[in-house]
Structure 1
């Protein structure tokens, strides 16, 4: 599946090759043919190639010695299985480094942590390389030069932003401190002003980028403003205490309102439209990581989530990133169609743990938020357009539970299988309008109007309640892959479960309850999208939430017994020891480990 009008995130090297071969008297003075040519890069065409090399790092691929999921932009490893959304999944012996991450045993020698650092700072290096190359390009228009600089600054800020979520203290490497000859090392000290520099790069980009790009996949000014606001939201609460930072929330609120008032974006009608390849780059999308797939090549495929596919055919690999029972329980609703903010985990949504394929099973009949079945694959419910979910989907149910991830998996028409891998062309909606609305609701709770926050949350819930977006009921056919869709007597699709979801009608008057409702809605809307660990981190509530979660989960998953999240430490990851070792300059390391890990 190819779309020629989008920026493919593929294994672009950013290196321009000189392919001309000629016989002449001056051939000895020419740059080596078919080799890296610094001179060739200092052209309009060359700098565009260098810029594409920076874009290529968004998909987490292209680095020797590491697997794509270790630096996947979707953060299912670091933002998902480390949270209450998901288990590592699969079985105990596969990718054991992730088992340590799931139990918050963060070590500076963990290869996944090391390679996340490598990937993000390689992205920073490529963005800086584009900026420095641009300075020496002569055959480029002033307008395009400004655009290339803005795109490179956007990417530099995005890579640094992703790093700042991971590590408490990071260096900020700009084009002046960047060293082209030392891409693998970070010989710049950590920078206490990193957040301010991230904001400035996004703001600089926003001042130049257009309202709309001719080629999707390149950022607009609205994407830059949205990420600038996101950077402020990540400073909006004290990680240690959870106290609100009024100044940052006020600044973020102004940007978020500007995006809303622009009228450029709106919620799509169906929640699923944010999670299928057939509806990529829609009216809700602000910035997406672009992918493509075919059965012949992995180029530009979304291989970073290759492991996080069900064990069943047609994928066959690998069963990682399985939703937790806690997440499934969060989608229960009361008689008024509202979330059970405090009691959702008191009892479990029915599952098929321990049952065989031939055993009879009737799915949970209680009230559910319809977003559950777009987020989680569960027994007896149609899994997108493939087959009805059953025990075949799970590699080791005893170890990792009965559920499968769903959001990142596109419909049949957009999935390719290449060797061991699952090559999906499903874009990652890293920034979409529903995020803007819920961040704005957070701001209203803390520094504005509680009832405006309620109105914003209700916009999200109204879309979720649209029956046209419900998963349809299906009846098992004569084979495991066969099913029949069910319609009611009027020919309307019959919902797969008892979906009951309604808006908050009573005015919000209690700030504590309003805050809890907004944060709960955020979990429901973005579950299994790699944000949960970092949301808990920025709200300053990680230890309380995750230890309470583990107390219950340890009764279901034996390997979770004894796991504890250490407040003041596990909110961030340790700087990789290899990065510290490689940062030696003039006989001493320039990077210093987070004190919590010393």
Structure 2
């Protein structure tokens, strides 16, 4: 599924699909009858896959919000600041500081691109249903898996959402109400995919029955349906074809593309400089200025996230409830020309593969020099750190493409789901189910921690040794459900930080307001401008506002979420 191979076909396929949920499907250069064959089905199916990355020809709303890696969602949680100067992308500034409105171009952009994916999947399903001869069971299962994924994204962002079926699509009845959740429909699509997809696919990037089982387990996890989620997720762990990569950081380099740890990924590539097959919507999130002439300084990790990587120097365990009592040393307010001593206390080694900080090698480009690589000013809200997981490494030239105005495009895949995520979801379900299995939860969490312990640690720029005081050990026991719950949730942040999951975890755990209120207070200690600007977190923020443009286009068939 490397999209460079099928890009021209994708364009043809898009002609047959409507991306606007309020409009009838456009008529392209291929007639309906001409599409009723294997080639036609495959063309439309490529169009459905291509919506994963958020790149569209007829997009509306803010284009940066459409990114399939959900980096914007980390800005709405405690993992990341928007980055850059406060005046760059002011709508994102308003979102981070909790000044949300239903007129936000960011919410409209994400809403639109998700419905583009839904409608493209429905186009495939509707076409297959109209063909009288031939076996298209696998293609139908792929399309239903994709529709399940897109609807899952819609559900976890907005809560009360419309459902557009293949029958709605065929009849051009796109204007559907949003009376509540659509979990039943999401589950049905994933179950169909489980029943009809093969256990493995020859073509990389396509889902298997194991992929669908992991997603169905996650759908039940998001509903706190632990007893149903556990056997699904545990089956993937115990019997699926997945495992952890030996080295944690390889998940964010070419070595991790379609590896044994990859469950389902967006297939990015920069082959032959075709930048539109790379991570176009992540182009803002490189250092600016920086070590390789990149742009634009967005997506900066928080002090709170870096603090979470502190460990107990004796036990090697995280400081679950006290990690913000001391800060990992920050160079905020210190010019690069001034002396600075990096933090010498014990840290989880995943810290320096997640957060770019002064004095530590930055993805092979040399020692991070501090403020001279930070676009944000001391008067801005975003602090002094750089992202690392989304930034390609020096020397891996196959990852790199350049856009029309000189921006960077990475060719490294984004893991929508990877095996470490499944291990931790299975561990969580083992803790929360009606008959808790704390021993199994301990085993799964320790698999993740032991991988981190046994990975290659970040080295000094002269390769003289470890770049920092890395101390990490597995847990010896989970003494209670309450302790296990805290440990599993904390491990998800350490392992999956800056991967677009944190906001949705806080929402489903129903502690978003509590965690974010405490975060704002703590973050304001080290970044005073943030503490001065951030607003109040409340229960209305558990769902995004339905875009007012969508409500207007629907003729008020759509209703607004509570509080907006």
TM-score by length of 1: 0.86
What is the match of residue 132 of structure 1? Answer: 126
Structure 1 residues 272-291: aligned runs within 5 Å: 272-291=249-268
Aligned with residue 222 of structure 1, among 181, 202, 210: 210
CA shift for structure 1 position 440: 1.2
Aligned with residue 159 of structure 1, among 150, 164, 175: 150
For 1:34 and 1:538, locate their aligned partners in 2 and report how far apart those are by CA, in whole Å: 41
What is the match of residue 249 of structure 1? Answer: 226
For 1:289 and 1:408, locate their aligned partners in 2 and report how far apart those are by CA, in whole Å: 13
Aligned with residue 446 of structure 2, among 454, 458, 463: 458
Say whether 1:81 aligns with 2:75. Answer: yes
Aligned with residue 113 of structure 1, among 107, 111, 124: 107
Are the structure 2 counterparts of residues 5 and 387 from structure 1 closer, same or farther at C-alpha, using a change threshold of 3 Å?
A: same
| More helix, by proportion | 2
2:4–2:277 Cα contact (<8 Å) kept: no
For 2:129 and 2:218, locate their aligned partners in 1 and report how far apart those are by CA, in whole Å: 30
What do residues 383-417 of structure 1 show as CA deviations (whole Å, max 9, x unaligned)? 11222212232102412211000101122322222
What do residues 277-319 of structure 1 show as CA deviations (whole Å, max 9, x unaligned)? 2331111111111011157432211111111111114242111
Structure 1 residues 20-35: aligned runs within 5 Å: 35=29
Say whether 1:547 aligns with 2:517. Answer: yes
For 1:453 and 1:352, locate their aligned partners in 2 and report how far apart those are by CA, in whole Å: 38
- Match of 1:12, SS state, is helix
Moved more, 7-16 or 282-291: 7-16
Are the structure 2 counterparts of residues 70 and 250 from structure 1 closer, same or farther at C-alpha, using a change threshold of 3 Å?
A: same
2:61–2:108 Cα contact (<8 Å) kept: no
What do residues 47-66 of structure 1 show as CA deviations (whole Å, max 9, x unaligned)? 21111111111001113345
Structure 1 residues 551-570: aligned runs within 5 Å: 551-555=521-525, 556-561=527-532, 563-570=534-541
What is the match of residue 15 of structure 1? Answer: 13
Aligned with residue 331 of structure 2, among 337, 352, 361: 352
What is the match of residue 393 of structure 2? Answer: 411
- Match of 1:383, SS state, is coil
Unaligned runs of 5+ in 1: 19-32, 237-247, 475-484, 488-493
Structure 1 residues 31-430: aligned runs within 5 Å: 35-62=29-56, 63-77=58-72, 79-137=73-131, 141-142=134-135, 145-178=136-169, 186-192=174-180, 194-236=182-224, 248-294=225-271, 296-311=273-288, 312-335=290-313, 336-390=315-369, 391-398=371-378, 399=380, 400-412=382-394, 413=396, 414-418=399-403, 419-430=405-416
For 2:549 and 2:106, locate their aligned partners in 1 and report how far apart those are by CA, in whole Å: 12
CA shift for structure 1 position 155: 0.6
Say whether 1:514 aligns with 2:494. Answer: no
What do residues 178-201 of structure 1 show as CA deviations (whole Å, max 9, x unaligned)? 25757xxx5101153510110110
CA shift for structure 1 position 261: 1.8
2:328–2:343 Cα contact (<8 Å) kept: yes
Moved beyond 6 Å, runs of 4+: 3-11
Unaligned runs of 5+ in 2: 17-26
Say whether 1:582 aligns with 2:564. Answer: no
For 1:132 and 1:528, locate their aligned partners in 2 and report how far apart those are by CA, in whole Å: 37
TM-score by length of 2: 0.91
Moved more, 271-280 or 6-15: 6-15
Q: Figure out how many residues of one structure are paired with residues of the other and give that number.
A: 541
What is the RMSD computed on CA atoms of the aligned residues? 2.2
CA shift for structure 1 position 108: 0.5
1:104–1:564 Cα contact (<8 Å) kept: yes
What do residues 60-98 of structure 1 show as CA deviations (whole Å, max 9, x unaligned)? 111334554211111111x20011111111001110111
For 1:423 and 1:66, locate their aligned partners in 2 and report how far apart those are by CA, in whole Å: 21
